[in-house]
Structure formats: C-alpha cells, structure tokens
Amino acid sequence: MRFCTAINCMDGRVQLPVIAYLQERFRAEYVDSITEPGPNRILAEQENAVAIQSILQRLKISLECHHSVGVAVVGHHGCAGNPAGRDDQIVQIQKAIRFLRQKHEAIPIIGLWVDESWEVHEVVDSSGGGDQGEPG
C-alpha cells in the first residue's frame, strides 16, 4: 500500500480531481485527506493556531502511520472558505508549502490549484525554496 496526503478544501467538488491527480503524481494507491475550508490561507497566514495544530497533527499521522510519500496543499476556484482570487491563492499555496517544508524537510510537498473547470494544475514555488518533489 502506498499513500500520499492532500491538505485540501472541504469543498466536495475538488476531492475527486485532486485524488486522481495525486494518485498518478505520487503513484499512490490511497490519498489521505486533511480537509479545512481554505487550508492554503490557514497555513499561509498562520493566524489560527488551533487549525494549524489540527492540520499538523493529522499530517503527522499520515506521515508516520501511513508513510505518506508526498503532500499537496490545495487551493481552488470558487472557494467559500477562501474567496481570494487565483493569483492571491497561488501566493498562499506557495507560502503554505514553505511553512510545511520547515517542519517536514524530507518529504516532497507540492501545491495544486484547481481551476473553474475542476482541472488540477501543479503550482511552482517561485521562492526557489527547493525541489517540488519527485514522484515516488
């Protein structure tokens, strides 16, 4: 069994496209789902300590118990929990990636944007902050 992890919005419209993308991207049979409304904003802004700790605790379980081979932070078009536009959400995804990499340097962490057609696009971390993670 091979797992990867999605830190995804709770919005049901993005679940299946993200799962399908990550199964292929990380060659994983299963995708652990950590869902919050607008998780990219939560991790980027780092203002809600309770939500961040909850996300990190669930990520720890996925990494330690399921030996997740990769993590994705997801933002999407039409998000009720994070109504920011695409460009702002991309920046949030990049900040969230950097935040998570500080805590989990050894695991590939990528960003995903789901557009208005529910197609998944990988986000490039423009900071030059390291590898986006090779498929396992």
How far CA 67 is from CA of 34, 60, 61, 133, in Å, comes to: 15, 10, 9, 15
Average pLDDT, the chain: 93
- The pLDDT score that the predictor gives to residue 135 is 41
pLDDT in tens, 88-112: 999 999 999 999 999 999 999 999 9
Q: How far apart (Å, rounded) are the C-alpha atoms in residues 2 and 81?
A: 30
What was the pLDDT predicted at 78?
Answer: 97
Please tell me the predicted confidence (pLDDT) of residue 127.
Answer: 62
Confidence band, pLDDT 50/70/90 cuts, at residue 124 = confident
Report pLDDT for 134.
42
**Spans of all domains in the chain:** 3-123
Residue range 3-123 forms a domain whose CATH class is alpha beta
For tokens 């057609």, name the residue.
Answer: 117
Q: Give yes or no for residue 130 having a pLDDT over 60.
A: no
Distance CA 47, CA 41 (A): 9
pLDDT per residue over 5-57, tens digit each? 999 999 999 999 999 999 999 999 999 999 999 999 999 999 999 999 999 99
